[in-house]
Amino acid sequence: MRLTQPQITQIWADRGHAGELVDWARDHLWLTRRIVSQPKGAKGFVVLPRRWKVERTIGWCMNARRNARGYERLPEHSEAHLNWALITMMA
């Protein structure tokens, strides 16, 4: 990824993704990580910063019917359909 996308320098993740994979990316790809978590003492639902961007993008991808279910046999096909949906959205 670092060779093809050198402009990516930072990873935003929530506490569920604050494990070995994020640590590996930091150590081997020299990416800065930012873990988004709830404020201390917060109860109930709290809007987290940066989280809405990820949720919005996933929602847009799921508008394409083929991406909403796992119809494809190979991961490469699913990746191609996600790219197709995003390209269509940007066009």
- Degrees (nearest 5) of the Cα angle 11, 16, 19? 65
Buried b / exposed e along 37-62 (16+ C-beta atoms within 10 A): eeeeeeeeeeebeeeeeeeeeeeebe
Task: Specify the 3-state DSSP secondary structure of 33.
Answer: strand
- pTM here? 0.46
**pLDDT above 70 for 31:** yes
What residue spans define the domains of the chain?
Answer: 1-37, 47-91
pLDDT in tens, 41-83: 888 888 877 777 777 877 887 887 777 787 888 989 888 888 8
Q: What is the pLDDT of residue 1?
A: 61
Q: Are 34 and 12 in contact (CB under 8 A)?
A: yes
